[in-house]
Every structure is written in C-alpha cells, then in structure tokens.
Amino acid sequence: MTMSQENIQGSGCAVRADARIDDLSAISDSDAADDAAERSWLKAVGAILHWVLPIVALAAVGVVGWRELRHLDLAEVHRSFQAISLGVTVALLLAGLATASLNTLYDLLLRRWLALEIRVKDLARTAWVASALNNVVGFSGMTGSGVRYLGLTKAGVAPPKAVGSAALVVLSMPLGLSVLATTLLAVHREMLQWTAVPAPLALAVLGAVSLYWPLFVLIAGRGPLHRRWLADTPTLGAAQRVSLVLVSTLDWVAVGGLLWLCLSAAGATLPLTTLLMAFALAMTLGLVSLVPGALGVFEGAMLLILGRTGADPAALVAGLLLFRVAYYFVPFLFAAQLLPGTRLLPDGGRIEELVEGFKTNPVLRVGRIPLQLLGHLSTQILAYATFAAGVVLLLSAAFPGVAERLEVLDRYMPLLAREGFHLSSVIVGTLLLGLSRGIGAGMRGAYHSTQVLLLSGAILSLLKGIDIEVAALLLMLSALLRANRASFDRRGYALASARNLRWLGGIALTLLAAAGLGSLLYGSSTLLSHLDQIGHHLHSARYARALLGMTVTFLAWLAWTWYSMPAPAVDLPDQTALQRAADFYTRVGRTTYSYLTMLGDKYLFYSPSGRALIQYGIRRGHLIALGDPACAEADLQEALHGFRTFADAYDLTPVFYQVEEANLHHYHEAGFRLLKLGETARVSLPDFTLKGKKAENLRTVLNRAKRTEMTFEVLTPPLEEGVWAELKAISDAWLAEKRMAELGFSLGSFRRDFLEWGAIAVVRQSGRLIAFASLAQDFGHRDETGIDLMRHIPDTPHGTMDVLFSNLILHAQEAGYAWFDLGMAPLSGVGRSPWSPRDERMLKLGYELGNRFYNYKGLRQYKEKFNPQWRGMYLAYPRGRSLPVVLMDVTALITRGQRGHRAAGKRAGG
C-alpha cells in the first residue's frame, strides 16, 4: 500500500469520537425506550405533515382556482392596478406599515408584565423584525418566536424569561383569528353555504380554530392545565389574558381592514363585515396549510370565497396582490433596514450567525425553519427586490398603459421615440434580473450599475407610458439600496457556483414566462407576424420586439459577465516565489503539508501582517487551503480572518482541508464547522524500538531482507541522471499497474523539480533499484519527518514496504527527529459515538461498507504494527455550505494533479 493510495481517500474522510454508554436498569431502559419511541413517532408524523399539508393545500387551491379563474383576463388585472392613483398607493403602503407595527403591542405588554430588562426601543426593533420575518416565512409563528428569543437573550434577558415571553407572543397571535372564526360561526354562518369552499371543510376548520381563544384563557392562567401544557411560560392574570385577546383581535381586524382598503382601491367594493368574515376563513385555511406566509393558499381561498359575491375577479386579484405588497413585502424591506440596528446581528455580521442561534432555541425545536434561504439578509432581500423590479419592468412592457395616459403620449411623443423608450425599459428590466445576483453577493460594481439602471428605468417608465407607479417603485428601491451601500464591498462572485447557476436558471425561467405571457395576451402567431410593424396601438408588435430585446440583452449580459467578472488576481508561484516560501518555512515554521508547496500547483496567501502563509487551490466557488496556516499559534487567528476576508471579497467560500485537532478551537471561533476526515499515524521516535514482542514481525522482515541482499539507502540531491532514470521507470511501471495518473494538491507527484527539494530513500536488491520513497522537506526543522511519494516495481518481493518503513524510521531516529509521520488512515475513527454529527456517522458507513472498494481497515491495521499514536485530521468549512459539494471540489483538486498544474492560468476563477 502506497502513501499516494492512502492519501487520495482523504477527501472522503473521518472522525474518531469514542463514547461509552453505561448500562441502565431494565425498568429505566423500558421507560426510556417507550418515550423515545413516542417522540420518534410524533417527530415522523410531524415531518410528514410538514411537507404533505402544504403540497396538498397548494394542489387543491390550484385545481379549484384554475377552474374558477381560467377565464381571468390578465390585462384587466393590469388595468385595475393602473387605475389606482399614486396617492392612494402611498397611503396604502403607509397603512401597511402602521398595521404591521401593531405586532409590537404583544411584546410591549409582556415587557411590563414580566419585568423584562430591555429598552423599549430595542424591543420594538426586534419585534418588528420578528413579525416581518414571520409573515414571510410563516410556520405558525415559530420564526417570529425564535427571532424574539434571540433578541431578548442578546439584550441580557435571562433565557427562562426570554423563552416565556417568546412563547406567549406566538401563543397570543392567533387569538384574534380565533375570535373572528367564532364570530363567523355565530353571526355569518350562511357564508359557508355560498362559498366555493366545501362547507364541511370550512365548518371543521373554523370550529377547531374558534376553540383556541377560550382554551388559551383557560390554560394560560394558574392551575393544573397550565402546569401540564404551558409549564415553560409565566402564568397570566385574567385581565392580562383578556388584554392579549383584545390586542390580537385588534391586530387581525386591522389586517382585515387593510385588505378591505386594498380591494376597494382596486375596484372590488365589498361590505366590511363580509370581507372580514371571508378573511377569517381564508387566513385560517392558509395557516392550517403550513405554507410559509400562507402564500397562494390565502389568495386562492379568498378568490373562491368571494367569487360568488359578484365582485370583479380582476379587481380581486389586483387587490390581493396589492395587499401582499403593502402588508408583507414593504414591511419586510423595512425590517431589512432595521436588522443591522438590533442586537440580533452585530455590525458586519451575516445571517449565518443568526441561523446558528436558532439551533439552540428551545421554542423552535418543533419546527424546521428554512432561514438559510434568506442568505445574507441585508443584501439578499435587496437582491430579490432588484429581481422583482426587473420583473415589474418586463410586465409593464407586456401590457398596454392606461388609455388616458396613452392619449397624451400619442399626442405629444414621436412614435419612434416611444418605441425606443419601450425597448430601452425592457433592456433595463432584463439587466436588473442579471444584476440582482451581484446585489445578493454584495458586489460593489453591481450596486453602482443597479443604481444607474433603477434611475433610468424610472425615467423610461414615465416616458413610455407615464407609468408613475413603476417609477415610484424603482425610486424607492434605489433609496433602499443607497441606505445599504456600505454592505456592498465585494469585488466579484463565483460564476461556476451552484448558487449562481440556480440564479441563472431563475432568470431564464422568468424570460420564458415573459414569452409565455406574450403568447397568452397576443397569440404566438400574432407576435411573429407583427414583429416589423410600428404603430401607436400595435402593442403586440411592440411586445414582440421586446421579447427579442430580452433575449439579446440576456445573452450579451451573460457573455459580458463571464469575461469581465473580477477574480482574485493571483498567479501560481514561480521558482522565485517557491524559494521565498521555503525561506519563510525555514524562518517562521512549517506545517505537516508545507513541503507540498514546492509542487507549484497551489496559490500562496500571506496574511496581512506577513507572519502566516497559507497554500490553497481554487475550485469553482471554493478557496481550499491545504493544512493549517504556517505561523506561530499567536498569529493563527489573524491568518484565518485574513483568508476569510480575502475569500469574502469575491464571494468565495474558504475551506481548510486536513487541519490538526490541536488547532480546532481557532477554526470554531472563526465560524467554521468541523468534520473529521480520519486519523494520521505518528511514531514517537524516542520511544521506537525493534526490541520486544511487538516488533518481532519487523525484526523478521529486516533479517530476511539481509538474506535476500536487500539494501537501504537515503539519497540526497543532486542525483545522477542514471538514478533519475531508474526512479522514473519504477514510477511509470507503478502508475501503469495501478491504472492511474499523477495526482496533486495534497499528494506529491513524480516531478523532478519537486523531488529535488528533499531526500529520496531507495531499496535495492542485488544492486537493482526496486522501490523508493520521497521524504517530506523539513526546511531545517527537526521536529517531524515522513514519507510523501512511495512507489515500487510490480514484482516487488513480499515485505519490501516494511523494510522501507522500518529503515526510514530508524534513519529519522538517528537523525534526531522527534516524530515520524506514517500518513493518514482515511475514515479511521469517524462517527464512532452515537452522538457524532450526522455527516460523520454517514462517513462511518463508508468505512464499514466500502472496504471491498478500498482497504480502509487493512490500512489502519498495517500502520498499527509500528505502534504509532493516532491524531485526528479535520475539514473546516463555513457554516451553511454544502458538505458534499465541498468534498467533491477537494477531490477534484487532488485528482486534477499535474493536469491542473499545467492548465492553471494567471486568472483564478475556478
């Protein structure tokens, strides 16, 4: 078994975590097993419902909604939107912010009742952010509860009080909806008969929900029910419970009133009481569906319920969309501005830190909150908003403008100018779709370009159709971007990353949807036949040219981005740079893998202070460092932070492959997750001996080697040409037998310029060279040595590798080294404990079941004969990153070998 074979498996490697489980009494075991089985069953049922209910709800709403709305005229929906004046739109947006602010009343009341030591200002900010996130993500209040808990604890509130307050808020919010459901059943039960929602379903859902507020009043007080069901929450007096019911009712009535205003503004005038009852039923169905934010379910249910009232369907759709913007989207953007000022996220902090906090939130253990979808909140929300702005511009190009406004343009604007403005707005919209990816990455160049496009889009919207609403939206987004301009400090992002590919897929789907919308509005044959026609009222021809402009603009943007995206300005080291690195290792210190720098296939990063050196490779969106930074321990933190900052400037992911367990706390503090890859065997040379029973097999092998005329020798370069020829012949024969090519990155390869940096140990038999091994360059440090490249002829006599290892260990012992590194045993010691991380337990399966493909166990057993000490080796990668993707990219760097060394250019884009 060669060192090359051993090390290549490191990319899939392992962790050792020994754990001992004490025996329990039979009764305790039985009780614990029953409890565990019950919890497991409940968890399984909850997981199934968590996925099945939303899918069923959306499918049901989609089927019934399509039947009800298949004749809906999208142009009428657009006209209903445009009929709303700018003043009314602004008033509704302000009303939405005021309505959303009512959610803070729960927190302010509980602050006084529970004597929470937190400033009103801090509490209000946290409550606003929590409510806005909860409205978007949903999950029955769990998201808002978790944000409140984190905000309270970070402000210094004791965790028990924080848990109690957060739990009471999430329990109080549905009270008003329950009151509305009770009112509907008591006063407007006849509505259940004329809605398209099946009456038994509506009756069952409303009946169950209407029981909630009396149960809360009963259980939230003192008594056995409270101790049984709400033991983690403080008890509330009767007046306090009634106050929460009233506040929640006010909250829900205000939301329903906002919906009524939005529908009225869009032209769907309904009695307020009728609307409130329909709102109660639709929102109840939406919350029960478990769909985040009840998105789609609420709108579908409202359309089904109100479909028989005689209201205009187009006006209903327009009003519901306006309600989503006023109560969900705009407060969500406002929360993004408030977040940096709260204690939830430190200055410059990233949303991953907030997500990690959710893992320790006791309130959130019943649900899985997909907050990682939000990414870096302060920029990611703005990225989605920029994408939405592009979609709005494309939609506005699809529909004709308001007739009165078009008459003004027909009278005063030349036709060609109008056509040019229309096409230009489409180009701006398409570019906004593309630049939204850069906004999400926090890219400085994307920020400046987006600001120009938003201002241009606002002007073009006015010139092409006096589209005041779209212009106002673009200007508002421009202001939000400017308020967050400090967040845009990156220089680029990885083009080949999975995230970027998903974003490109979303843009392509959006453009295809735009084409489908045009076909739906004007017909595909009409679009093609009118492509060359120009006229004030030839909207189909104008949109046909717009589709062509979208396609050309997208392809041009894609090409420009591919060739102009900034990437780290790095070069693979030449001989001068390699000599500088060698001098650094000699002067400052080295790591286990420092000698592999001399391969020249890795880039070199010096810390800002110049006291640390990191060698790394680039693969797609990953900067993968090999081993720990070479530096004194006091400089390790600075090196990690400097490397992360360097990677972050280009939206790349820093990864450290094969770091030693003695330094794990530094990686933990720098925000990395850790995965054990395996264990490396190190022989303590002062304690090594060939005497005794344990070394009996080694003595036998060495004695047989003498009888068969085997000799051992360590050669120091420069070597004679004849020796190099012999070594090359052995290497080629070994590669041919193994049917493999040279590897690289974390493994040495047979290259003369690399091997000349260190000594080479050879084994001869009767004067014929039959095996060799290259020794890791020590750069003048006598603490540790080891083998890198080890190869032999196909017909090597049995025991040749034992002869080579044993003599090398003895040679290192005589030379005064302290340790001899036998290399990694991949997957050894990984996931042994039942409490080991899930990823490591999965790797353990590879160790147990994959032995037929690779001799994992035999490799460890072979190294055990030298009586080594085992030391864990780890992978460090940022939280929230995909581990399989990281491991695949590490493997790709290793298997690229000399091909990668030859192919790597001056530009490092991955």
Distance, CA of 431 to CA of 633 (rounded, Å):
48
Q: Is 168's pLDDT higher than 50?
A: yes
Q: Is 12's pLDDT higher than 60?
A: no
Q: Is 632's pLDDT higher than 80?
A: yes
Distance, CA of 585 to CA of 286 (rounded, Å):
63
pLDDT of residue 415: 62
Do both 552 and 457 map to the same domain?
A: yes
Least reliable range by pLDDT among 114-118, 418-422, 846-850: 846-850
Question: Per residue in 874-908, pLDDT tens?
Answer: 999 988 778 888 888 888 888 874 444 444 433 34
3-state secondary structure of 658: strand
Last residue of a domain, one of 342, 375, 408: 375
pLDDT of residue 10: 36
For the record, the structure tokens of 875 come out as 């992978």
- Beta pairing, strands 784-792 & 869-878: unpaired
Q: Is 235's pLDDT higher than 70?
A: yes
Q: Is 628's pLDDT higher than 90?
A: yes
pLDDT-derived band of residue 667, with 50, 70 and 90 as boundaries? very high
Least reliable range by pLDDT among 20-24, 369-373, 622-626, 653-657: 20-24
Q: Within a domain: residue 663?
A: no
Q: Within a domain: residue 737?
A: no
Do both 488 and 538 map to the same domain?
A: yes
For the record, the structure tokens of 701 come out as 């092998």
Do both 388 and 352 map to the same domain?
A: no
Q: Pick 620 or 198 by higher pLDDT.
A: 620
Q: Pick 40 or 487 by higher pLDDT.
A: 487
Residue type, 586: T
Question: Per residue in 501-558, pLDDT tens?
Answer: 888 888 888 888 887 776 666 665 555 555 555 655 556 677 778 888 888 999 999 8
Last residue of a domain, one of 546, 563, 580: 563
Q: Within a domain: residue 271?
A: yes
Pick from 348, 353, 342: which is nearest to 155 by CA?
342
* DSSP assignments along 684-715, one per residue: EGGG--S-SSTTHHHHHHHHHHHHTTEEEEEE
Alpha helices in 532-682 (DSSP H): 539-564, 575-587, 636-648, 664-669
pLDDT of residue 328: 83
Least reliable range by pLDDT among 301-315, 379-393, 846-860: 846-860
Percent of the chain surpassing pLDDT 70: 73
- Give the long-range contacts of residues 668-672, CB within 8 A, separation 24 or more: 669/637, 670/637, 670/640, 670/641, 670/644, 671/352, 671/353, 671/644, 671/878, 671/879, 672/876, 672/877, 672/878, 672/879
Do both 339 and 395 map to the same domain?
A: no
The pLDDT mean for the chain works out to 77
| 95 phi/psi in degrees, rounded to 5 | -65, -35
Q: Within a domain: residue 278?
A: yes
Do both 333 and 457 map to the same domain?
A: no
Q: Domain tally for the chain?
A: 2
- Name the range with the highest mean pLDDT among 54-63, 207-216, 428-437: 428-437
The range of the structural domain enclosing residue 175 comes to 83-358+365-375
Pick from 547, 484, 544: which is nearest to 513 by CA?
547
Q: Within a domain: residue 760?
A: no
Q: How many residues does the chain have?
A: 910
Do both 280 and 305 map to the same domain?
A: yes
Strand order in the sheet with 760-765: 603-606, 613-619, 622-626, 653-660, 869-878, 672-684, 819-826, 784-792, 768-775, 760-765, 710-715
Half-sphere exposure of 543 (CA within 13 A, CB side): 28
Radius of gyration of the chain (CA): 34
Beta carbons within 8 Å of 424's beta carbon, 6+ residues apart: 456, 460, 464
For the record, the structure tokens of 384 come out as 């989605």
DSSP 751: -
CA distances from 865 to 14, 229, 518, 788, 851 (A): 21, 59, 74, 19, 20
Q: Is 559's pLDDT higher than 80?
A: yes
For the record, the structure tokens of 150 come out as 């984190």
Half-sphere exposure of 698 (CA within 13 A, CB side): 23
Do both 371 and 433 map to the same domain?
A: no
The structure's pTM equals 0.58
pLDDT of residue 521: 64
Do both 388 and 370 map to the same domain?
A: no
Q: Pick 400 or 742 by higher pLDDT.
A: 742
Least reliable range by pLDDT among 172-176, 368-372, 630-634, 716-720: 368-372
Do both 270 and 397 map to the same domain?
A: no
pLDDT of residue 659: 92
- Name the range with the highest mean pLDDT among 50-64, 327-341, 369-383: 327-341
Do the Cβ atoms of 740 and 725 come closer than 8 Å? no
Question: Per residue in 284-317, pLDDT tens?
Answer: 777 766 666 666 678 777 877 777 666 777 788 8
pLDDT-derived band of residue 198, with 50, 70 and 90 as boundaries? low
End-to-end CA distance of the chain: 33
Do both 233 and 317 map to the same domain?
A: yes
Last residue of a domain, one of 563, 581, 607: 563
Question: Per residue in 389-412, pLDDT tens?
Answer: 888 888 777 665 444 444 545 555
Question: Per residue in 645-665, pLDDT tens?
Answer: 898 888 888 999 999 988 899
DSSP 787: E
pLDDT of residue 72: 61
pLDDT of residue 530: 59
CA distances from 452 to 182, 428, 437, 462 (A): 53, 10, 16, 16
Q: Within a domain: residue 39?
A: no
Q: Within a domain: residue 432?
A: yes
Q: Within a domain: residue 659?
A: no
Distance, CA of 595 to CA of 752 (rounded, Å):
14
Axis crossing angle, helix 175-187 with helix 238-266, rounded to the nearest 10: 70
pLDDT-derived band of residue 156, with 50, 70 and 90 as boundaries? confident
Do the Cβ atoms of 486 and 348 come closer than 8 Å? no
Q: Pick 186 or 588 by higher pLDDT.
A: 588
3-state secondary structure of 3: helix
Q: Pick 808 or 522 by higher pLDDT.
A: 808
Do both 351 and 388 map to the same domain?
A: no
Do both 101 and 245 map to the same domain?
A: yes
Q: Is 373's pLDDT higher than 60?
A: no
pLDDT of residue 8: 32
pLDDT of residue 344: 60
Distance, CA of 375 to CA of 372 (rounded, Å):
5
